[in-house]
Amino acid sequence: MLLLNGPSSSGKGSIGRALLPLLPDPWFLVPVDVISGLRSTVHTRQLTKDEIAEMLTRTRRGYHRAVAALASQGNDVIMDYPLSEPWRLTDLLEVLTGYDVTLVEVRCSEAELERRERARQDRPLGLARSQSVFEHKDRDLVVDTTNQTPEACAQIIAESLEQLDTPKAFDRLRAAAS
């Protein structure tokens, strides 16, 4: 399993798509946006801020378990997912116990993130800057999309997979949390 962790607009999805032809078949790219996009945006009543937060937490917990279900059947999965809240990592460490997870930090300069957010027009401006996705301070690989293409970053990841130190970041983070 590969977990591409970075702020919104950092290039996680583009790297994930570029990785698919570089990895031995079959790998599944499962971005959290696919799951989030399945929820209804039409409501019979206005949701409160707390109800929205609760719904988003349930959605993200469901995403963790959907990815684990795919992996439990022997599927290789690429997650495009920002670890922007500490509970997300804590939950994933538990849900993905026993799986080989490679944690990839996807970096990008703030100026480039803001440029991409403006160009995309599907994210609130400032979202990327607000996400604290690297607070856990451990990872297996780092790629920077500021000046590298998604294809170049995907190549770095694909070539590095067999040479990573063990235990991997998820195992180290799990051990530190115990």
Question: Annotated active-site positions, please?
Answer: 33
65: its two tokens: 């378990």
99: its two tokens: 């799986």
12: its two tokens: 């996680």
Calculate helix-pair angle for 169-177, 86-95, nearest 10 degrees: 100
Name every residue whose Cβ is closer than 8 Å to that of residue 30 and which is 6 or more positions away in sequence. Answer: 63, 66, 67, 70, 77, 78, 79, 80
